[in-house]
Structure 1
Amino acid sequence: MFSHVMIGANDIEAMLAFYDRVLETLGLTRDSAQPPDSPAGFIWLRGKARWPQFALRHPVNGHRATVGNGVQISFAASSPQHVIAAWTAALENGGSDEGAPGFRPRYSSDFFAAYCRDPEGNKLCFVHAHEFSVN
Structure 2
Amino acid sequence: MSTDIINHIEFPVVDAERARRFYEAVLAPLGLMLVISIDAARAPHGGARHGFGKNGYPSLWVHQQIGAKLPIHLAFTADDRVTVDAFHAAALANGGTDNGAPGIRERYHENYYAAYVLDPDGNNIEAVCQRD
- Smaller-chain TM-score bracket: 0.7 to 0.9
Assess if the C-alpha contact under 8 Å between 2:16 and 2:49 holds in 1. Answer: no
Taking structure 2 as the reference length, what is the TM-score of the superposition? 0.83
C-alpha deviation, 1:108, in angstroms: 1.4
Q: Which runs of 5+ in 1 are unaligned?
A: none
Aligned to 1:91: 92
Tell me the alpha carbon deviations over residues 38-95 of structure 1, each in whole angstroms, 9 at most, x when there is no partner.
44931111234x37x1110023xxx326333xx3100111110000001110011111
Q: Which residue of 1 aligns with 2:101?
A: 100
Aligned equivalents of 1:11, 1:58: Cα separation in 2 = 6
Q: Structure 1: which amino acid aligns with 2:67?
A: R
CA distance in 1 between partners of 2:20 and 2:32 (Å): 13
Task: Give yes or no for the alignment of 1:115 onto 2:119.
Answer: no
The whole-number CA distance in structure 1 between the counterparts of 2:55 and 2:131 is 21
Correspondence 1:25 to 2:29: yes
Cα distance between partner residues in 1 of 2:68 and 2:18: 14
More displaced 10-residue stretch of structure 1: 100-109 or 38-47: 38-47
d(CA) in 1 for partners of 2:107, 2:93: 28
Identity percentage over the alignment? Answer: 32
Moved more, 15-24 or 4-13: 4-13
**Is 2:46 the counterpart of 1:42?**
no
- Structure 1 length normalisation: TM-score? 0.81
3-state DSSP class of the match of 1:101?
strand
**1:13 has 2:17 as partner:** yes
Structure 2 gap segments, 5+ residues each: none
Confirm or deny: 8 A CA contact 2:16 2:50 kept in the other structure.
Answer: no
Task: Give the equivalent residue in structure 1 for 2:62.
Answer: 56
Distance 1:77 1:38 in 2: 31
User: What is the Cα-based RMSD across aligned positions, in Å?
Assistant: 2.0
Aligned length: 123
Q: Identify if the C-alpha distance between structure 1 residues 65 and 79 changes in structure 2 by more than 3 Å, giving closer, same or farther.
A: farther
Number of the residue aligned with 2:79:
78
